[in-house]
Amino acid sequence: MKQTLVLKVNPDKPETEKMQIAANIIKQGGLVAFPTETVYGLGANALNPAAVSALFKAKKRPLDNPPIVHVENVNTVYTLAEQVPPKATQLMKLFWPGPLTLIFKRSPTVPDVTVAGLDTIAVRMPKHNVALALIRLSNCSIAAPSANLAGKPSPTSAKHVLADLNGRIDAILDAGPTSVGVESTVLDMSVDPPMVLRPGGTPFEALREALSDVVLHPFVAAEKELPVGKARSPGMKHKHYAPNADVTVVEGDIPAVVAKVNEIAETHKRKGAKVGILATDETLISYHADVVKSLGSRFNLAVVAQNLFRLLRELDAEGVDAIIAEGVPTEGLGLAVMNRLRKAAGYRIVKAS
C-alpha cells in the first residue's frame, strides 16, 4: 500500500516548495487531491491516459462517468474544445474563476478516457489559489472528480479525503475546509439552448440573468430516478453523495415536515435502529432522535450547502442506521442541496402534508 503524503498549505498564499512537490507528482503521472472552492478534487494530468485511468481506479469510479477538466487559463479551453460558442465566452468572463463547469465539443487531442468516451468535454476554472497554483506548476490541465470513493459524500476537508483514499493516492494538499460545499454547476454549451445538467455553486438564477435561454435538464429537479443514457456530466448516473446509512428526505411545509420526521424517526427507533436527523436551525429543538444536527438556517442556503456533505459524513461516523433529512427551499443554492439530498436518498422522498 502506498503512503499518501499530506502537505498542509496556506489557502491564500500556498508555499511554492510544497506546491512544487505536488506538481511534480502530477507531471510524473501521479494523483494529488487538492482543494477547490466547491469540494476537494482528485487530480491527474488530463492529457495522460494512464494517469486518468489510475484516477478512476483509485476512486473505484465507473469508466462512463466523465471527470471535469480544470484549467488555470482561459486560453487552455481553446486547446481542449473544438469550438467555443460566443455565449460560453460571455459566461467565462462573468463566472470564471468560479463554480461553473461548461461542456463543449471536445478536441481530438483529449484522450478518450478523460471524457469517458464522449464527444464532449467538461471544463472549469476553480476559484482557489491552491488549485490554480497546482495547475500552473504542473504545466497541464488537470482532470479532477471529487476526491472520495465513488458514491460517497463529496469531501469538503482533507480529513474526508484521507478517510476515503489514504493509501490509494500519492498526496493531499490540505488547505482547510472548502467554502461552497457542493460541486460546481454543470452547463452544457454543446446544445442549444444551453442546458444545466447539474445544479451547483453557481445558482440557476444567476445563469438566467446572464443568458435568458438557459434551461434545466429534467434530471436536475427530479424526484425519482430518470434514465439519462450517456451521462455528459458527473452526478447524472450511478449512486452519488450517499452515506452508509439509509437516507430519507421529507419535503413540505415546516410544521408538516417536523411532524413527519418525528413519526418516521419513531418507527425506526421501534425497530431498534439508531436514528440521525438533519434539521435546520429553525426546527432543531423540535426533534428527538439519537443524533440531531442542523444544516444551518433555512434562510441562509449558502451555509446549508457548505455543511451538507460534512454532516452526512459526521452522521456516518456516529454509526446511525437511518438518516432523516428535512427538505429545504429550491431557490439559489437550495436547488443543488436538494439535488444532492434526493440522490443520497436514492429518491426515497416523503411528502409531508
pLDDT at 233 over 90: no
Domain of residue 14 covers: 5-90+105-180
In a domain, 140, yes or no: yes
Q: How confident is the model at residue 242 (pLDDT cuts 50, 70, 90)?
A: confident
Q: Please give the backbone phi and psi of residue 284, each rounded to the nearest 5 degrees, phi first.
A: -50, -45
The string of DSSP codes covering 278-313 is: EE-TTTGGG--SSEEEE---TT-HHHHHHHHHHHHH
CA-wise closest residue to 120 among 166, 60, 188, 72: 188
Taking the alpha carbons at both ends of the chain, their separation in whole angstroms is 52
- Are residues 154 and 75 part of one domain? yes
CA distances from 103 to 18, 35, 73, 319 (A): 32, 22, 16, 39
Same domain, 37 and 129: yes
| Dihedral angle over CA of 291, 38, 31, 22, nearest 10 | -110
Average the pLDDT over 288-299 and give the result.
Answer: 96
Q: Is residue 133 part of a domain?
A: yes
Same structural domain, 16 and 125:
yes
The band of 184, judged by pLDDT with boundaries at 50, 70 and 90, is very high
Q: Same domain for 175 and 251?
A: no
- Whether 47 has a pLDDT exceeding 80, the answer reads yes
Q: With H, G, I as helix, E, B as strand and everything else as coil, classify residue 229.
A: coil
**Quick one: residue 43, left, alpha or beta (phi over 0 = left, psi -120 to 50 = alpha)?**
beta
| DSSP element (H, E) containing 89 | helix 86-95
pLDDT band at 237 (very low <50, low <70, confident <90, very high): low
The reported pLDDT for the residue numbered 259 is: 97
Whether residues 339 and 258 fall in one domain: yes
Peptide bond into 62 cis (omega under 30): no
pLDDT of residue 239: 63
Q: Is residue 27 situated within a structural domain?
A: yes
